[in-house]
Amino acid sequence: MPHSSHEGHDVIQLNNAKIAQKNFTVLNAVNLNIKRGRFCYLIGKTGSGKSSLLKTLYGHIPLSGGQGHVAGFNLENLRASDVPNLRRKLGIVFQDFQLLTDRSVEKNLRFVLEATGWNDKTKIDDRINEVLASVGMKSKKHKMPHELSGGEQQRIAIARALLNHPELILADEPTGNLDPETSNEIMTLLKQVAFENNSAVVMATHDYHMIQNFPGEAIRCEDGKVTVLNTMELFE
């Protein structure tokens, strides 16, 4: 296997990080190192800081203290103008899909590529076909979002997240609106595409059945602290 320049490279590095919202400290003394290729759940009760942690990782809320690097960007002095460049290196998948409802699947993906600096029409078309094939949705290219089921819309959202070859995929309750069978399909897909792309995945969830079906590592937010554990420890 060719030695990747990114092998062993921490895509997330937080050292003694403080995460606050509106002057209220949500998480303190956070230490977290995640390499490419790792799949981690982000767990914790509502209000425990999961969303705040994700928002810090994608540059939506600034780091309040300590040190942090995500995909090569320093969170301590991240300027507003850096945020789009940071997000180009990330894939973000939300619970409610967030597809643009007024345009087809293909045009949703084209919009993202053009907004992130792609301008070669052939390369754009090729990349759209590649990501749709990787999520089993090539035949739905010309459909409008409302013509798709929830599971299909989430597959498109994952395809969208993959467009710029992300080092890190952040998924916020991606199965929250889906039935158990569809949720399992989406989880299988997320794990597969992350492996194929050597992306790290941090997935917020409160679905413990999912964690039992797909064991792995978990980052737990609780009482203002973050701990990393093996998910098997949750069920002991």
Average pLDDT of the segment spanning 85-108: 90
- Distance from C-alpha of 122 to C-alpha of 110, rounded to nearest angstrom: 11
6 domain-assigned: no
Return the structure tokens found at 211. Answer: 């964690």
Please state the pTM of the whole predicted model.
0.88
- Count of domains forming the chain: 1
Cβ atoms of 173 and 206 closer than 8 Å: yes
Q: CATH number, domain at 143?
A: 3.40.50.300
50 domain-assigned: yes
12 domain-assigned: no
Cβ atoms of 221 and 27 closer than 8 Å: yes
152-205 pLDDT, tens digit per residue, is 999 999 999 999 999 999 999 888 888 989 999 999 999 998 888 899 999 999
- Within 10 A of 121 (CB to CB), how many other CB atoms are there? 10
3-class DSSP assignment, residue 29:
strand
**Which residue do the tokens 């959202």 mark?**
157
231 domain-assigned: yes
Q: With cut-offs at 50, 70 and 90, classify the pLDDT of residue 96.
A: confident
72 domain-assigned: no
13 domain-assigned: no
As a whole number, the mean pLDDT across the chain is: 89
3-class DSSP assignment, residue 171:
strand
Q: With cut-offs at 50, 70 and 90, classify the pLDDT of residue 3.
A: very low
19 domain-assigned: no
Q: Which residue has the higher pLDDT, 75 or 207?
A: 75
* pLDDT score for 2: 33
* pLDDT score for 33: 94
43 domain-assigned: yes
Which residues constitute the domain of residue 159? 38-59+86-235
Tell me: pLDDT of 208 over 70: yes
Q: With cut-offs at 50, 70 and 90, classify the pLDDT of residue 207.
A: confident
